[in-house]
Chain A
Amino acid sequence: MKLYNKKGLLLGIFWLAVGLGGLILEIARPSSVKAVFIRDIVLFSLLLLFSLRQIVRAFSARASREDFLEERDERNRYIRLKTGCTMFKVAEALLLIWVIGSAAAFGLTRDEIWTMAVIVSGLTLGLLFIIELIVGIHYEGKE
Chain B
Amino acid sequence: MKTILREMRAARGMTQQQLADAVGVSSRTIISIEKGQYNPSLMLAYRMARVFDVSVEELCCLEENMRMEDER
Contacts and interface: CB of A to CB of B under 8 A. Distances in A.
Interface of A: 69-70, 72-76, 78
Interface of B: 24-26, 28-29, 32, 38, 40-41, 44
Contacts of B38: 75, 78
Contacts of B24: 69, 72
Contacts of B41: 74
Contacts of A74: 25, 29, 40-41, 44
A73 B33 CA distance: 13
A73 B21 CA distance: 11
Contacts of A75: 25-26, 28-29, 32, 38
A34 B29 CA distance: 44
23 contacts: A69-B24, A69-B25, A69-B26, A70-B26, A72-B24, A73-B25, A73-B26, A73-B28, A73-B29, A74-B25, A74-B29, A74-B40, A74-B41, A74-B44, A75-B25, A75-B26, A75-B28, A75-B29, A75-B32, A75-B38, A76-B26, A76-B29, A78-B38
Contacts of A70: 26
A58 to B, nearest CB: 19
B29 to A, nearest CB: 4
Nearest to A76: B26
Contacts of B32: 75
Nearest to A72: B24
A17 B35 CA distance: 42
